[in-house]
């Protein structure tokens, strides 16, 4: 949960490129593992306050976690020392699918990241504040118009269709609850 | 889908009646202030909150009564499921809601009231402070054993020298409370095995003979009783349940101690709390009256009564004042009873 | 029995019954496609409409709806990488990579056709086992479930990909997440951070939707290409449905095994579909000729997850019909439909009401075939979606994410869980940590603990001596030790060096 998911894709991408010919120290993996070790350690500490039956599993799990995370760090360090400067042998045919998404995440520029995350944030904040029926068409319109740069007509029609479908399906037909927003 | 036109028709009918009533009001002269406020819910959306997932007993009751309530109020009553923390989440939210929120809730009053008197964690409400609309139905816990069990009736459980093993999903559940209070009353040795994923799974452990007894609402047992797998031995109430007329009730078994007598009374009170209908605390008088009248109007509707009978989910109505009194009496239970309930958390 | 089967078929084929079934199928179809909105909720919504129906009509409507939701849930998983149901998570693992390669037609063909086959299997189990099933269901109890969760957890190793240590770490993180909530032994809130919302634990649907769907949507936003951007031969082979069907037939042992797993786990109240899918997926990988393709677009993985989902529905009807004990929320609603219709579950369903039981069998089969046929008709336009520009889909997919999460318990907490899960999913892909072991551990962790305690409470240490437990322990040892030995023998000592970490 505390995995550092810093959206600044540029920062970790840089070292990988630079260290291709040196000993490759997988900094991010080490940081993640240490973070996990800290998380498990903290969870273990919390679990010590519980009774034996309620605490048994948590203590076992968290201890195992701390041990594994530290072991992983040691393994990474050992391997980095030993490793020959291997040219990155990325065989894309071998793992196209994941590798491809990974490639996108690793190579999207900082501005693209910031932009995309801002749109996502806008959508969910909108969902929280003004509810689904306002957010959905509004987001569809602004996103298509401003980010995808489609025509006015296209964006408006898309937004209208989104609203109509949502309204008919959730409000009229099924009467299901949707995020209402703060003021309704 | 054959149902929808019917509901719509009924709604239209209800609206017509309301219009007529309003017209009649108008003729009485200027009832400006009162008249306007008396119809706080009319023409509005009213959230009817079910504190559990869709599909359970509370949900079925709520969905059955909602259209009738809507008709009587002239409002659009929309059922909302807000599951979480065994109904505490939604009940806390209702307690925190204001009178202007147009929110009512069906409550597992047995569970919430016992959580309150046990001082359990997570309780942020006082059951007696809710604006009581009334009680819809009772759901007294019923002790059932496997059809081929050595324990043939409740007397066998009372006389048992060996530990009677009950099943429950977890501490604090209605199942757990009923088992531990029963043991406190009759003094038989007991154990509650918890950790089952659901009440069906717990019941299966009893049928398989891995545990002895399961105390759960009578309607949740019904399927297994009718399939001949379970034998109901006790309804924790002072009168039989309509659909299990031959099952003995708690007051049939007189405990030896005087303290036991008191506990019996307290448990009967608790179990008859059943499924209530409440609104946020501090509702203005006229709003509460509007809701209570609609409740009476809906629960006396023959069509609703027949519909619920057909679903084997009968009504057992108390009006708001009676219900409040009952809840207050449970909150004032004897210290011994409160101790016994606390043991379940 | 043959007579009863035919008799019940003619009942189901009545015009009105069939019409109601089709209506149910249509509703179930849409509900299945929408993430989050699941079978049980829809059944509960539709229950009031059945008050006026005949028993067989009511079942045609409700059951038709229910079995179709798990079929069409896989469509969203395969096309967009957003699981349509919590039970459709496994279908994303290989179905979505296939889609990205432009083979969505093939993947959908395989997942739908195997679903249909799985449903037939489940229905057969229902038809054949109802008379004899009682001892089996009663013999399986907490100890067996516990062992089954252990078997499931061993797949963590297989599903970790290249780096087993990372996989194990993610699994332990999953176990920790599974511990969140009120503990079932003493009622202590664990790791709930003083949030009552977390008392019931982390909800599975938002977690699954975020973990898998979140990353895919973000990926589309960043790359601004179509989903199937990896396809080299875009418009020429847009469907490939036939290929998927042929794949399914070719991999018939996978279909059989997954269906058997699905219907068995469905039959015993307790574990349910979210567990079954991973056990089926794990075994498909174990027995596959090309396990390294799993997670990257292995067609047998898609087939396994399709078959298991639908076989489980037939199985889950068994305890409902035979004992009046529903295995899950959806069957609980069906049980109330039973009672409303004036039917008593139990022995009567096998004697005087046998035709009703068999009509359920027919409904399961017919509804699935109708749904799959309808889905095939829509496949062309659906697969086209994956070729249009990604950003155009973004508003729509974000909506699916938001609604899918929110409808889990109608709370904004669900959306928050989804977003956190999405962040974890993105981080996992970015830095090459496996997501599947995490999810597997979340699903199995809490259950494992509960069943261990229940086993001990019910049987003391004797639970270790139950035959089924010993049997599964043997399997477990086999699963673990044999491949390990084989690996040891096949691999030279320098092996670790070749297995380089990419980061």
Task: Using the predicted structure, report yes or no on whether residue B103 has a pLDDT greater than 50.
Answer: yes
List subunits contacting chain A, requiring 3 or more Cβ pairs under 8 Å.
Answer: B, C
Q: Which two structure tokens, joined as six digits, stand for C214?
A: 């979140």
Q: Do C296 and A47 touch (CB under 8 A)?
A: no
Task: Find out whether C101 and C297 touch, Cβ atoms under 8 Å.
Answer: yes
Give which of B5, B55, B95, B214 to mutate to test C binding, by max C Cβ within 10 Å. B55
Q: Do A106 and C430 touch (CB under 8 A)?
A: yes
Residues 99-128 on A with a CB inside 8 Å of B are none
Q: Which two structure tokens, joined as six digits, stand for B316?
A: 């057992």
Q: How confident is the model at residue B43 (pLDDT cuts 50, 70, 90)?
A: confident
At C103-132, the pLDDT tens digits run 888 999 999 999 999 999 998 888 887 777
Contacts of residue C219 in chain A, CB cutoff 8 Å?
101, 104-105
Pairwise CA distance, residues C44 & C22, whole Å: 18
Contacts of residue A175 in chain C, CB cutoff 8 Å?
45
Task: Using the predicted structure, report yes or no on whether residue B32 has a pLDDT greater than 50.
Answer: no
Task: Using the predicted structure, report yes or no on whether residue A16 has a pLDDT greater than 70.
Answer: no
The answer to whether B194 faces chain A, any CB pair under 8 Å, is no
> Which of C296, C398, C423 has its CB closest to that of A95?
C296
The answer to whether C424 faces chain A, any CB pair under 8 Å, is yes
- Tell me how many degrees the CA angle C127-C128-C130 measures, rounded to the nearest 5: 75
**CATH code, domain with B287:** 3.40.190.150
Task: Using the predicted structure, report yes or no on whether residue C59 has a pLDDT greater than 60.
Answer: yes
Task: Using the predicted structure, report yes or no on whether residue C227 has a pLDDT greater than 90.
Answer: no
Number of domains in chain A: 2
The answer to whether B36 faces chain A, any CB pair under 8 Å, is no
Q: How confident is the model at residue B256 (pLDDT cuts 50, 70, 90)?
A: confident
Asked, for residue C87, whether it belongs to a domain, the answer is: yes
Q: Which two structure tokens, joined as six digits, stand for B278?
A: 């409440």
Q: Do A36 and C169 touch (CB under 8 A)?
A: yes
Asked, for residue B92, whether it belongs to a domain, the answer is: yes
Task: Find out whether C170 and C429 touch, Cβ atoms under 8 Å.
Answer: no
Q: Which two structure tokens, joined as six digits, stand for C279?
A: 């056990």
Number of domains in chain B: 2
At B115-128, the pLDDT tens digits run 999 998 889 999 99
Ramachandran assignment for C478, one of left (phi > 0), alpha (psi -120 to 50 degrees), beta (any other): alpha
Q: Does A81 share its domain with A22?
A: yes
Task: Domain of residue A77: give its range.
Answer: 10-107
Asked, for residue A33, whether it belongs to a domain, the answer is: yes
Q: Does A66 share its domain with A124?
A: no
A24 phi and psi, to 5 degrees?
-90, 110
The answer to whether B308 faces chain C, any CB pair under 8 Å, is no
Choice among B340-344, C245-249, C289-293 with the minimum mean pLDDT: C289-293
At A99-139, the pLDDT tens digits run 577 778 888 788 889 999 999 999 999 999 999 899 999 99
Give which of B195, B232, B305, B313 to mutate to test C binding, by max C Cβ within 10 Å. B195
Asked, for residue B257, whether it belongs to a domain, the answer is: yes
Q: Which two structure tokens, joined as six digits, stand for B187?
A: 């003094």
Asked, for residue A4, whether it belongs to a domain, the answer is: no
Give chain B's end-to-end CA distance (angstroms, integer): 44
Average model confidence (pLDDT) across chain B = 86
Strands (E), C181-231: 181-182, 189-190
Tokens 């007696």 belong to B128
Q: Does B260 share its domain with B278?
A: no
The answer to whether B80 faces chain A, any CB pair under 8 Å, is yes
Contacts of residue C143 in chain B, CB cutoff 8 Å?
none
Q: Does B146 share its domain with B255?
A: yes
Outline where B152-284 has alpha helix (H): 154-159, 174-186, 199-207, 218-226, 258-271
Q: Does B248 share its domain with B295?
A: no
The answer to whether B78 faces chain A, any CB pair under 8 Å, is yes
Query: What confidence score (pLDDT) does residue C427 get?
Result: 92
Q: Does A67 share its domain with A19?
A: yes
Q: Do C44 and B60 touch (CB under 8 A)?
A: yes
Q: Which two structure tokens, joined as six digits, stand for B143?
A: 């002790």
Among the ranges A28-37, B31-40, C102-111, which has the highest mean pLDDT value?
A28-37
Last residue of a domain, one of B249, B268, B287: B268
Task: Using the predicted structure, report yes or no on whether residue B236 has a pLDDT greater than 90.
Answer: yes
Task: Find out whether C133 and C318 touch, Cβ atoms under 8 Å.
Answer: yes
Asked, for residue B2, whether it belongs to a domain, the answer is: no
Query: What confidence score (pLDDT) does residue A3 get?
Result: 41
Query: What confidence score (pLDDT) does residue C232 get?
Result: 53
Give which of C183, C184, C328, C453 to mutate to test B binding, by max B Cβ within 10 Å. C184
Asked, for residue A178, whether it belongs to a domain, the answer is: no
Q: Does B162 share its domain with B239?
A: yes
Q: Do B200 and C269 touch (CB under 8 A)?
A: yes
Collapsed DSSP state (helix, strand, coil) of residue B108: strand
Contacts of residue C391 in chain A, CB cutoff 8 Å?
143-144, 147-148
Asked, for residue B27, whether it belongs to a domain, the answer is: no
Query: What confidence score (pLDDT) does residue C492 get?
Result: 52
Report the interhelical angle of C55-80 vs C2-12 (nearest 10°): 80
Asked, for residue B178, whether it belongs to a domain, the answer is: yes
At B318-334, the pLDDT tens digits run 999 999 999 999 999 99
Whole-Å CA distances, B333 to B113, B268, C131: 11, 11, 50
Asked, for residue B245, whether it belongs to a domain, the answer is: yes
Q: Do C53 and B2 touch (CB under 8 A)?
A: yes
Asked, for residue B223, whether it belongs to a domain, the answer is: yes
Q: Does A41 share its domain with A103?
A: yes
Q: Does A14 share its domain with A92?
A: yes
Average model confidence (pLDDT) across chain C = 84
**Residues 6+ away with beta carbon under 8 Å from C482:** none
Q: How confident is the model at residue A169 (pLDDT cuts 50, 70, 90)?
A: confident
Task: Find out whether B236 and B178 touch, Cβ atoms under 8 Å.
Answer: yes
Last residue of a domain, one of A85, A107, A129: A107
Q: Does A45 share its domain with A60?
A: yes
Pairwise CA distance, residues C474 & C481, whole Å: 10
Q: What is the enclosing helix (H) or strand (E) of A139?
A: helix A132-142
Asked, for residue B86, whether it belongs to a domain, the answer is: yes
Collapsed DSSP state (helix, strand, coil) of residue B46: strand
The answer to whether C197 faces chain B, any CB pair under 8 Å, is yes
- Tell me how many degrees the CA angle C497-A92-C78 measures, rounded to the nearest 5: 120
Q: Does B220 share its domain with B327?
A: no
Task: Using the predicted structure, report yes or no on whether residue C80 has a pLDDT greater than 50.
Answer: yes
- Span C415-425, average pLDDT: 94
Among the ranges C80-89, C181-190, C232-241, C418-427, which has the highest mean pLDDT value?
C418-427
Number of domains in chain C: 1
The answer to whether C473 faces chain B, any CB pair under 8 Å, is no
Contacts of residue B81 in chain A, CB cutoff 8 Å?
177
Last residue of a domain, one of B242, B268, B294: B268
Give which of B53, B80, B83 to mutate to test A binding, by max A Cβ within 10 Å. B80
Q: How many CB pairs under 8 A join B and C?
A: 185
β partners of residue B103:
B47
Task: Using the predicted structure, report yes or no on whether residue C25 has a pLDDT greater than 80.
Answer: yes
Residues 211-230 on C with a CB inside 8 Å of B are none
Distance of CA C347 to the CA centre of its chain: 30
Asked, for residue A181, whether it belongs to a domain, the answer is: no
Pairwise CA distance, residues A47 & A129, whole Å: 37
B79 phi and psi, to 5 degrees?
-80, 130
Task: Find out whether B303 and B3 touch, Cβ atoms under 8 Å.
Answer: no
Q: Does B120 share its domain with B58?
A: yes
Q: Does A29 share its domain with A98?
A: yes
Task: Domain of residue C340: give its range.
Answer: 2-493
The answer to whether C185 faces chain A, any CB pair under 8 Å, is yes
Task: Find out whether B250 and B264 touch, Cβ atoms under 8 Å.
Answer: yes
Contacts of residue C209 in chain A, CB cutoff 8 Å?
none
Q: What is the DSSP letter of C432?
A: T
Q: In what order do the strands lie in the sheet with B141-146?
A: B190-193, B164-167, B213-217, B141-146, B230-235
Give chain A's end-to-end CA distance (angstroms, integer): 32
Query: What confidence score (pLDDT) does residue C184 get?
Result: 86
Pairwise CA distance, residues C395 & A78, whole Å: 46
Q: Do A89 and C500 touch (CB under 8 A)?
A: yes
Collapsed DSSP state (helix, strand, coil) of residue B146: strand
Task: Domain of residue B62: give its range.
Answer: 44-138+273-336
C141 phi and psi, to 5 degrees?
-140, -170
> Which of A9, A68, A136 has its CB closest to that of C165?
A68
Task: Using the predicted structure, report yes or no on whether residue A173 has a pLDDT greater than 80.
Answer: no
Please tell me which residue of chain B has the smallest CA distance to C322: B227
Asked, for residue A23, whether it belongs to a domain, the answer is: yes
Contacts of residue C230 in chain A, CB cutoff 8 Å?
96-97, 100
Give which of B54, B95, B213, B222 to mutate to test C binding, by max C Cβ within 10 Å. B54
Contacts of residue A175 in chain B, CB cutoff 8 Å?
78-79
Pairwise CA distance, residues C415 & A1, whole Å: 15
Please tell me which residue of chain B has the smallest CA distance to A171: B78
At B184-231, the pLDDT tens digits run 999 999 999 998 888 888 998 999 999 999 999 998 898 889 888 999
Please tell me which residue of chain A has the smallest CA distance to B80: A177
Pairwise CA distance, residues C314 & C67, whole Å: 8
Q: Does A93 share its domain with A51?
A: yes
Tokens 């395989």 belong to C110
> Which of C176, C394, C415 has its CB closest to that of A61?
C176
Task: Find out whether B277 and B98 touch, Cβ atoms under 8 Å.
Answer: no
Q: Do A175 and B78 touch (CB under 8 A)?
A: yes
List subunits contacting chain B, requiring 3 or more Cβ pairs under 8 Å.
Answer: A, C
Residues 298-357 on C with a CB inside 8 Å of A are none
Radius of gyration over alpha carbons of chain B, in Å?
A: 21
Give which of B78, B97, B345 to mutate to test A binding, by max A Cβ within 10 Å. B78
Q: Does B101 share its domain with B210?
A: no
> Which of A16, A75, A116 has its CB closest to that of C503?
A16
Last residue of a domain, one of B268, B290, B324: B268
- Tell me how many degrees the CA angle C135-C136-C137 measures, rounded to the nearest 5: 95
> Which of C52, C196, C458 has its CB closest to that of B193?
C458
Q: How many CB pairs under 8 A join A and B?
A: 5
Asked, for residue A57, whether it belongs to a domain, the answer is: yes
Q: Does A146 share its domain with A159?
A: yes
């Amino acid at each position: 949960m505390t995995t550092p998911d810093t959206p600044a894709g540029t920062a970790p991408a840089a070292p990988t490129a630079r260290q291709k010919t040196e000993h490759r120290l997988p900094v991010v993996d080490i940081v993640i593992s240490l973070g996990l070790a800290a998380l498990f350690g903290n969870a273990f500490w919390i679990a010590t306050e519980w009774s034996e039956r309620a605490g048994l599993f948590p203590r076992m799990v968290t201890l195992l976690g701390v041990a594994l995370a530290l072991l992983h760090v040691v393994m990474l360090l050992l391997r980095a020392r030993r490793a020959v400067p291997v040219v990155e042998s990325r065989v894309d045919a071998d793992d196209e699918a994941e590798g491809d998404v990974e490639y996108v995440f690793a190579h999207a520029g900082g501005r693209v990241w910031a932009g995309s995350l801002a749109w996502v944030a806008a959508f969910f904040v909108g969902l929280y504040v003004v509810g689904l029926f306002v957010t959905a068409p509004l987001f569809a319109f602004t996103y298509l118009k401003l980010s995808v740069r489609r025509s006015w007509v296209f964006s408006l029609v898309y937004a209208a269709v989104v609203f109509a479908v949502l309204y008919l399906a959730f409000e009229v037909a099924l009467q299901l609850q949707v995020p209402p927003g703060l003021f309704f | 889908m054959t149902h929808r036109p019917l509901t719509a028709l009924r709604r239209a009918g209800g609206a017509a009646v309301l219009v007529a009533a309003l017209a009649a009001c108008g003729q009485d002269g200027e009832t400006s202030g009162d008249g306007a406020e008396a119809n706080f819910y009319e023409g509005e959306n009213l959230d009817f909150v079910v504190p559990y997932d869709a599909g359970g007993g509370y949900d079925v009751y709520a969905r059955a009564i909602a259209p009738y309530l809507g008709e009587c109020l002239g409002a659009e009553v929309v059922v909302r499921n807000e599951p979480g923390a065994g109904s505490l989440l939604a009940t806390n939210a209702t307690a925190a809601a204001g009178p202007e929120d147009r929110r009512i809730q069906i409550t597992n009053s047995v569970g919430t009231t016992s959580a309150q008197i046990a001082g359990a964690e997570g309780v942020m409400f006082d059951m007696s402070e809710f604006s009581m609309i009334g009680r819809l139905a009772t759901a007294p816990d019923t002790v059932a054993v496997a059809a081929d069990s050595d324990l043939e009736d409740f007397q066998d459980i009372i006389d048992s020298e060996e530990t009677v093993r009950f099943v429950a999903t977890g501490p604090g559940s209605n199942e757990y409370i009923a088992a531990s209070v029963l043991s406190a009353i009759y003094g038989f040795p007991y154990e509650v095995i918890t950790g089952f994923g659901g009440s069906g799974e717990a019941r299966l452990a009893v049928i398989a003979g891995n545990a002895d007894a399961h105390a759960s609402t009578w309607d949740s047992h019904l399927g297994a009783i009718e399939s001949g797998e379970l034998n109901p031995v006790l309804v924790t109430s002072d009168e039989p349940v309509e659909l299990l007329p031959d099952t003995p009730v708690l007051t049939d078994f007189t405990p030896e101690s005087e303290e036991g007598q008191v506990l019996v009374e307290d448990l009967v009170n608790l179990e008859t709390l059943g499924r209530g209908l409440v609104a946020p605390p501090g509702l203005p008088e006229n709003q509460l009256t509007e809701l209570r009248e609609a409740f009476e109007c809906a629960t006396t509707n023959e069509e609703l009564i027949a519909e619920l009978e057909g679903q084997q989910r009968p009504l057992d109505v108390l009006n708001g004042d009676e219900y409040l009194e009952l809840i207050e009496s449970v909150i004032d239970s004897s210290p011994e009873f409160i101790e016994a309930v606390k043991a379940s958390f | 029995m043959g007579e009863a089967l035919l008799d019940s078929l003619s009942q189901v084929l009545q015009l009105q019954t069939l019409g109601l079934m089709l209506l149910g199928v249509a509703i179930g179809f849409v509900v299945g496609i929408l993430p989050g909105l699941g079978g049980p909720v829809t059944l509960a919504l539709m229950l009031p409409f059945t008050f006026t129906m005949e028993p067989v009509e009511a079942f045609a409507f409700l059951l038709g709806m229910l079995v179709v939701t798990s079929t069409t849930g896989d469509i969203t998983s395969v096309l967009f990488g957003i699981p349509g149901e919590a039970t459709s998570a496994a279908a994303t693992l290989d179905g979505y990579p296939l889609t990205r390669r432009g083979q969505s037609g093939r993947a959908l063909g395989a997942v739908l056709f195997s679903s249909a086959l799985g449903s037939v299997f489940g229905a057969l189990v229902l038809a054949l086992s109802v008379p004899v099933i009682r001892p089996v269901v009663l013999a399986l109890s907490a100890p067996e479930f516990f062992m089954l969760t252990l078997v499931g957890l061993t797949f963590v190793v297989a599903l970790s990909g290249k780096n087993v240590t990372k996989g194990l770490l993610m699994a332990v993180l999953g176990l920790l997440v599974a511990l969140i909530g009120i503990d079932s032994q003493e009622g202590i809130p664990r790791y709930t951070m003083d949030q009552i919302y977390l008392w019931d634990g982390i909800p599975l649907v938002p977690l699954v939707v975020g973990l898998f769907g979140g990353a895919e949507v973000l990926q589309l936003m960043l790359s601004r290409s179509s989903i199937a951007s990896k396809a080299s031969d875009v418009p020429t082979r847009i469907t490939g449905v036939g290929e998927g069907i042929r794949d399914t037939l070719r991999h018939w042992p996978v279909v059989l095994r997954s269906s058997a797993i699905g219907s068995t786990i469905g039959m015993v109240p307790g574990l349910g579909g979210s567990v079954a899918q991973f056990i089926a997926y794990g075994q498909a990988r174990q027995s596959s000729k090309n396990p390294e393709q799993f997670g990257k677009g292995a067609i047998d993985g898609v087939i396994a997850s399709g078959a298991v989902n639908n076989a489980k529905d037939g199985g889950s009807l068994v305890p409902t019909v035979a004992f009046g004990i529903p295995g899950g929320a959806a069957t609980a609603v069906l049980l109330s439909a039973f009672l409303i219709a004036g039917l008593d579950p139990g022995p009567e369903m096998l004697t005087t009401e046998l035709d009703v039981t068999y009509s359920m069998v027919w409904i399961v089969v017919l509804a699935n075939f109708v749904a799959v046929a309808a889905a095939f008709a829509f496949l062309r336009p659906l697969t086209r979606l994956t070729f249009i520009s990604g950003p155009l889909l973004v508003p729509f997919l974000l909506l699916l994410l938001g609604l899918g999460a929110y409808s889990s318990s109608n709370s904004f907490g669900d959306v928050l869980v989804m977003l956190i899960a999405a962040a974890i999913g993105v981080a996992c892909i970015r830095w090459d940590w496996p997501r599947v072991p995490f999810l597997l551990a979340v699903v199995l962790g809490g259950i494992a603990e509960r069943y261990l305690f229940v086993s001990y409470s019910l049987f003391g240490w004797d639970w270790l001596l139950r035959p089924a437990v010993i049997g599964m322990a043997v399997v477990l040892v086999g699963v673990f030790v044999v491949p390990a030995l084989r690996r040891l023998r096949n691999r030279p000592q320098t092996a670790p060096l070749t297995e380089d970490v990419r980061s």
